[in-house]
Amino acid sequence: MINTTTRVLIADDMPLNRTVLASFLSSHGILSDQVESGEECLKLCEEKDYDLILLDHRMPELDGVDTLVRLKELFARRGKEIPVICHTTEEGRKNINLYKAAGFADVLIKPIDPKELAQVLMTYLSAPQEETVVADEISDAVFTKALEADLDDEANRENARAEAEKLPLWLKIVPNIDLVAGLLACGSSEDYMDALYIFHASIDERSEELLSFLEQEEWTMYALRIHSLKSMARIIGAKKLGEQAAALEEAARSDEHTFVKKNTYSFIKAYREFQVHLAPILDEDEYKLLSAAENLESDDEDAPDLSRTILYVQNGEGVVKKGFEKNLKTAGFSCISIPDEPDKIIAYRNDANIVLYYPLTDEDSHTSLTMNLLAEICQDDAKIFLLAGDADELEKAMQVSGARRVTKCYERPVDIDAFLRDMDYYSMLEAEYHRKKTIFVVDDDPGFRSVTEHWLSSEYHVSGFSSGDAALTGLNTVTPDLILLDYEMPEMDGCMFIKKLREDMGTMPCPPVIFLTGKNDRDHVFRVLEYKPDGYLLKTSGRDTILEVIRRFFAERLFTRSQNLTDGF
């Protein structure tokens, strides 16, 4: 499985190509940076570490091959090899062997097929990337974490098998359900039981609805409903039912109506059999969705507000150290001072949302290690990362790869008034980030919408809407922090919704929109990208991926806003 902490660099002089690739990566939960020239690619690779580079062959001034040669020199100096994938036009297909001979790890032909890109990602990103650590700084053991959430696919399957042991005995003998597949999609036994409950409760209504569209020959609505059923079947691990639904959907969209009429009744029969097999779920009160929703409260409600707490990492007991502490406390901030030691940093990582590091780069220091450790913590936990110190110390610290996460540097002598104003601003950003946010889920599929709402409700306020019109009406009362939007909906599809939303908002800022859809073919993706959404997720992504992408989306917005202050070093 691809590690969700990976980052890819996209280099292409065409904005549309960069957007397409970034959206494909986002659908796999992967963050990316984009540049439009070879020079910018080299500059960013000097500043940051990447796990993969997608490099256009034909760029003005410095083309892909010339850029690759200089990248190889850079990698050699760093002692770390990064796979570089060439993406080029159809006419370059005949030169694939030449590209590989030049040093490219692989070649993708434009327009890039999502399946081919996914294969490249699995090939070059599935293996864990080793950390490059300077040997004389500290033992690799310092970098060991207690737990990695996404080690590999087998680890996830092992976890799913463990969760399967928690399921009731009757469920383990239900035919035509792959419990492990369902648990991989849902994440836990509790969430899986909720999905089953929703699936079971909607069987009567969905069956009658589908038959009605069949009898009336409403093929567009038929395709929409069978598509929704396909998604729900796959979520619970009903693979065979999902495959049957996929075949009917394809036939309905291809106007193969004879096939649809011939096979729908047998599909409905198989679908209704789940009503009998899953009937015991009505007696599993501890797993019912409504009961769970009533008792579901965020564990963070009583958590202390850490937005005005500063974790001050430094060495020594000098005047500078005490001066920072005194001024911060006078301004109403809590200040936790700890030495520049990895075990101390890890021990206090959860006690503050703003980190201030005062680096010393003498021969006994380990600034590089501390910078990388703090950058990793600040990225994972969405903390503000700041530096303060002498100009030469800051310059050396900013040459470390961890500097990519630094929001601002304060060179001595520090203007304390300006520094404290910045602290107030960062504190406001952190308080805003940790506020429980509101998300609209807009999807005409009540089953999938209910599952998504349940998945999100532990961390967010969630409102569900069955149509674009209903969501637009909801915006008259509440402005959400994010809209998760289905692509295919009757009357007003996702793209029409975005267009209407922007027209209605006028000059007011629109809430961000991430598409959550089952459509990933090239034509649909390109149509979606014309409207420049803030993200693109597939419904097959599963609970953990959806939650992680949303968390990272909000975290990246925080980081971007934090960099709006530019008066520092």
Nearest to 310 by CA among 279, 355, 374, 269: 355
* Single residue among 408, 431, 454 that ends a domain in this structure: 431
Which of 210-224, 256-270, 346-360, 555-569 has the weakest average pLDDT?
Answer: 555-569
Say how many domains are in the chain.
4
- pLDDT tens digits, 243-290: 999 999 999 989 999 999 999 999 999 999 998 888 888 765 444 444
Half-sphere exposure of 330 (CA within 13 A, CB side): 11
Return the CATH number at 253: 1.20.120
Specify whether 289 is located in the same domain as 316.
no
Helices 189-201 and 446-456 cross at an angle (nearest 10°) of 150
Specify whether 42 is located in the same domain as 95.
yes
The mean predicted confidence, pLDDT, of the chain is: 80
Nearest to 111 by CA among 526, 528, 519, 531: 526
Specify whether 18 is located in the same domain as 73.
yes
Length of the chain counted residue by residue: 569
Whether the ω angle into residue 111 lies within 30 degrees of 0, i.e. cis, is yes
Specify whether 333 is located in the same domain as 464.
no
Return the CATH number at 334: 3.40.50.2300
Q: Cα(552)–Cα(557) distance, rounded to whole angstroms?
A: 8
Predicted confidence at residue 148, as pLDDT, reads 34
Specify whether 481 is located in the same domain as 378.
no
What domain range includes position 529? Answer: 438-560
Q: Cα(429)–Cα(423) distance, rounded to whole angstroms?
A: 10
Predicted confidence at residue 155, as pLDDT, reads 66
More confident: 394 or 155? 394
pLDDT category at 506 given cuts 50, 70, 90 is: confident
Residue 131 counted as domain residue: no
Specify whether 157 is located in the same domain as 281.
yes
Evaluated on CA atoms 186, 192, 195, 196, the torsion sign reads positive
Query: What tokens appear for 183 in the block?
Result: 């648990």
Does position 120 have pLDDT exceeding 80, yes or no? Answer: yes
Does position 153 have pLDDT exceeding 70, yes or no? Answer: no
Residue 304 counted as domain residue: no
Specify whether 445 is located in the same domain as 427.
no
- Cβ 229 vs Cβ 539: under 8 Å: no
- Cβ 559 vs Cβ 404: under 8 Å: no
- pLDDT tens digits, 363-392: 556 788 888 889 888 988 889 999 998 898
Q: Residues 6-20: what's their mean pLDDT? A: 81
What percentage of the chain carries pLDDT values higher than 90?
Answer: 23
- pLDDT tens digits, 177-236: 999 888 888 878 888 888 888 888 888 888 988 998 999 998 988 988 888 888 888 889
Which of 392-406, 495-509, 512-526 has the weakest average pLDDT?
Answer: 512-526
Q: Residues 428-434: what's their mean pLDDT? A: 89
Specify whether 463 is located in the same domain as 539.
yes
- Cβ 537 vs Cβ 27: under 8 Å: yes
Residue 1 counted as domain residue: no
Token pair 């940051």 in the structure block, residue: 48
Say which amino acid occupies 189.
S
Q: Cα(562)–Cα(406) distance, rounded to whole angstroms?
A: 10
Q: How far is CA 253 from CA 43, 60, 216, 246, 352, in A?
A: 47, 42, 16, 11, 54
* Greatest mean pLDDT range, 196-200, 238-242, 530-534: 238-242
Q: Return the biggest CA–CA distance within the chain.
A: 85
Specify whether 444 is located in the same domain as 424.
no
**CA–centroid distance for 512 within its chain:** 14
Residue 140 counted as domain residue: no
* Single residue among 374, 403, 431 that ends a domain in this structure: 431
More confident: 156 or 206? 206
Does position 425 have pLDDT exceeding 80, yes or no? Answer: yes
Specify whether 278 is located in the same domain as 168.
yes
Contacts of 433 (CB under 8 A, 6+ apart): 382, 554, 555, 558
Residue 135 counted as domain residue: no
Residue 452 counted as domain residue: yes
Specify whether 286 is located in the same domain as 386.
no
Q: How many CB atoms lie within 10 A of CB 194?
A: 23
User: pTM of the prediction?
Assistant: 0.59
Angle at 182 between CA 176 and CA 187, to 5 degrees: 165
Q: Cα(409)–Cα(358) distance, rounded to whole angstroms?
A: 10
Q: Cα(447)–Cα(428) distance, rounded to whole angstroms?
A: 38
Does position 530 have pLDDT exceeding 50, yes or no? Answer: yes
pLDDT category at 449 given cuts 50, 70, 90 is: confident
* Single residue among 79, 106, 125 that ends a domain in this structure: 125
Specify whether 226 is located in the same domain as 187.
yes
Q: Cα(281)–Cα(263) distance, rounded to whole angstroms?
A: 29
Residue 143 counted as domain residue: no
Residue 120 counted as domain residue: yes
